[in-house]
Amino acid sequence: MALNRPPLSLKGRALRLLGAREHSRAELERKLQPYEEETGSLARALDELQAKGFISEQRVVESVLHRRSAKLGTQRIRQELQNKGLAPEAVADAVEQLRATELERAHAVWRKKFGAPPVDAAERGKQMRFLASRGFGGEVIRKVVAGAADAQ
């Protein structure tokens, strides 16, 4: 027997999305735009949720850093934060925070994937491309791959 539930309000939909993970205001606007029936109702609902602390740019940044920094480089995380529509200052602060651990994180990712220094130029290129695809910077990549060869 099917229950006849009333359709979710914009605020209800936003809370459901926020229950799954942190979302920025821009993400919520993009996802909820198709459900807005009355012009301005989405902005009012999001204003109310933001005033009550349900939408927090700082929590979105912390969530992304926590989930992604172990696997991705600073460049990829910066791109992800920008795509979420976060303020440029918040993105810049997060990137600055990540730069301090970039070399260690890149080395951990490299060790998990390869674990052994490259034996030839082709293998070296493969390892470097892998780290680049993860968003690590060129200087960090060179240090990690060169350091792996030196450690042998």
pLDDT digits (tens, 9 = 90+) for 93-118: 999 999 999 999 999 999 999 999 99
Q: How far, in Å, are 27, 31, 53, 57, 91 from residue 10 at the CA level?
A: 14, 10, 17, 20, 28
Residues 24 and 47 in one domain: yes
CATH number, domain containing residue 36:
1.10.10
In the predicted model, what is the mean pLDDT of the chain? 92
| 1 vs 63, more confident | 63
Assigned domain for 3 exists: no
Residues 90 and 112 in one domain: no
**Residues 31-51, mean pLDDT to the nearest whole number:** 94
State the pLDDT at residue 52.
96
Q: What tokens does 138 get?
A: 């060129």
Residues 66 and 90 in one domain: yes
Q: What is the pLDDT of residues 45-98, one digit of tens each?
A: 999 999 999 999 999 999 999 999 999 999 999 999 999 999 999 999 999 999
Q: How far, in Å, are 130, 132, 139, 140, 142 from residue 125 at the CA level?
A: 8, 10, 14, 14, 10
Q: Domain residues for 80?
A: 56-100
Assigned domain for 1 exists: no
Assigned domain for 30 exists: yes
What is the count of structural domains for the chain?
3
